[in-house]
Amino acid sequence: MRPALSEPDPADVLVLPGVLRALASTNALIARSVVTLSPEDPGYFGPGSMSWRIFSHASYGASGIAAVLVQALHPVAIAIVDRHSAFRSDAWRRAHLTADYVFTITFAGRRGADEAAAAVRRIHAGIGGGDPATGAPRRADEPELLLWVHAVHTEYALRGYEAFATPLSELEADRFVAEQVAAAALVGLDRAQVPANRAELRACLDSVAGLRVSEPARLFSLMLLRARMPATMRPFWALHVAAAALLLPPEVRTGYRLPRWLPRGRTARLAMVASFSAITHGYGLFRPVREARRRMREVERAQLQSHQSGGAAERSASLARRH
């Protein structure tokens, strides 16, 4: 069980009734995970990782929406979601739970990440559906489906960060993809079968045939667009949906018949870059996030000191051997 968040300070209370409540809600997820970190257990990714960098940026909200819309193009994946997921009745809560899982395996200690992943594997093991093309029974934990979901999530996390934060070098993108192999292993995939760099990731995505905007996928997109949620969240949701639409390939946007009001073009993208930058900086208004950042810095300093001490000891041993 994760430790409870600390009570908000007076500055937090002043902004919670307004639109900034969206910031508090989303980033409390990161804060709950980070409190489980320690110098002995920095989690599966840890300080300096591309995963910490990308998933702590506000652009991930848009990336996540774009990813689920692309994942829904797989006819078997969306058939299982349509049969078992809570998206139909409560899309906002389901999206919130998905974000909670991603933040847990990214920012929590290994024990917390393992527990969250084990819960997801249990859920996947118990659900399935029929293949729309053949009628054959399919399971949610089949490697083919898990790999599709993982690959799309990884690719669109990169696309969102590059579009709304800053471009990445080829080395940085490859590092992120390689780090995410650990996330794939947590849900049960064989590491050897998971793309370990951006080129392999794109080849994996290009190899999947039969993708289309089916009727269940279109209904799924409507559930996202019309999700019930607190009124203070709606401005943020609209921003993220609009940004997600910019990340989608044109044929996917057309297939989903996304609303015409969604902005496009360079001006829209620049406005979203500014918005996500402001939101990311706004995270620091809330004490749980400030505490989370402090703990992350402590873990980073401890790891750096340990590395320096280890390097000094190795150099001393090397000198001793020479003499």
- For residue 75, give Cα distances in angstroms to 137, 143, 156, 189, 258: 13, 15, 19, 20, 19
Whole-angstrom distance, CA of residue 272 vs CA of residue 256:
22
pLDDT at 319 over 50: no
pLDDT at 172 over 70: yes
Per-residue model confidence (pLDDT) at position 39: 85
Whole-angstrom distance, CA of residue 66 vs CA of residue 80:
19
Contact by Cβ (8 Å): 86, 157: no
Residue range 205-239, pLDDT digits in tens: 999 999 999 999 998 888 888 877 767 677 778 88
Residue 246 is encoded by which pair of tokens? 């910019």
Residue whose tokens read 């409560």: 90
Amino acid at 56: S
Whole-angstrom distance, CA of residue 122 vs CA of residue 149:
17
pLDDT at 80 over 70: yes
Whole-angstrom distance, CA of residue 295 vs CA of residue 42:
10
Contact by Cβ (8 Å): 185, 121: no
Per-residue model confidence (pLDDT) at position 6: 40
Residue 129: φ, ψ to 5°: -170, 180
Per-residue model confidence (pLDDT) at position 120: 94
Whole-angstrom distance, CA of residue 134 vs CA of residue 201:
28
Going through the chain in order, the beta strands assigned E by DSSP cover 128-130, 137-139
Residue 256 is encoded by which pair of tokens? 């989903």
Q: State mean pLDDT over 309-315.
A: 52
Per-residue model confidence (pLDDT) at position 17: 42
pLDDT at 253 over 90: yes
Amino acid at 58: A
Q: State mean pLDDT over 282-289.
A: 72
Per-residue model confidence (pLDDT) at position 224: 82
Residue 200 is encoded by which pair of tokens? 């392999």
Per-residue model confidence (pLDDT) at position 7: 42
Per-residue model confidence (pLDDT) at position 289: 73
Contact by Cβ (8 Å): 128, 142: no
pTM of the entire predicted model: 0.85
Q: Which DSSP letter does residue 38 get?
A: B
pLDDT at 310 over 60: no
Q: State mean pLDDT over 108-112.
A: 93
Which of 26-35, 93-102, 182-191, 276-285 tops mean pLDDT? 182-191
Closest CA to 27 of 236, 244, 245: 236
Per-residue model confidence (pLDDT) at position 13: 39
Whole-angstrom distance, CA of residue 171 vs CA of residue 256:
34
Mean pLDDT rounded to a whole number for the chain? 84
Whole-angstrom distance, CA of residue 40 vs CA of residue 8:
28
Residue range 128-155, pLDDT digits in tens: 888 888 889 899 999 999 999 999 999 9
* Length of the chain measured in residues: 323
Per-residue model confidence (pLDDT) at position 89: 64
Per-residue model confidence (pLDDT) at position 26: 61
